[in-house]
Amino acid sequence: MKPRFEVSGRIAKPVEEVFEAVVDPGILSEYFTTGGAKGRLTPGATVTWDFHDFPGAFPVFVTEVEQNTRIVLKWGGETPEHPANTLVTMRFEALEDGRTLVSITEEGFDPGDDGIRQSYGNCMGWSQMICAMKAWLEHGINLRAGMYR
């Protein structure tokens, strides 16, 4: 069985604002991609995400974007000719109380020890991304600043 995980959290902002905080590279760079994000998440785009704690920009291949509902990404590979090895699906659900439920699933890891280790690390990273987005959008606090280095 290949490793697969899902993480989720509720953010006290409307779905439109939460969704935009992921697709807009300027906003994403404020709370998650500490080295900067380049390129808006649009279907078929290849964007880059850079993290100070993991130097070097990562290519992110955008597969699908459904406004305020879903984003599907592939990453872990080098180029579109050598596709990414994992699939990330982000879902955004407007809740009745005005908050947004964000759920992130990642799958496609190799079933061996390396794939399991990678899935644990990525699970931690996506959990932290949701926490960092919540802190940024609700309180203007960057949780990742200085956290790793």
**pLDDT tens digits for range 70-100:** 999 998 755 454 455 799 999 999 999 999 9
- pLDDT class of 146 with cuts at 50, 70, 90: confident
Exposed / middle / buried, residue 107 (Cβ in 10 Å: 0-12, 13-18, 19+) = middle
Distances (CA, A) of 82 to 15, 61, 79, 141: 34, 11, 5, 37
DSSP letter at 77 equals S
Q: Stretch 24-43: mean pLDDT, rounded? A: 95
- Integer angstrom CA distances of residue 79 from 45, 49, 99, 107: 12, 14, 37, 19
Q: Is a pLDDT exceeding 60 seen at residue 141?
A: yes
Judge whether residue 108 has pLDDT over 70: yes
Q: Could you tell me the pTM of the whole model?
A: 0.92
Mean pLDDT of the chain: 91
pLDDT of residue 1: 76
Domain boundaries, the chain: 4-139
Q: For position 82, what pLDDT does the model report?
A: 45
The class of domain 4-139 in CATH terms is alpha beta
Residue 138: its pLDDT value, please?
98
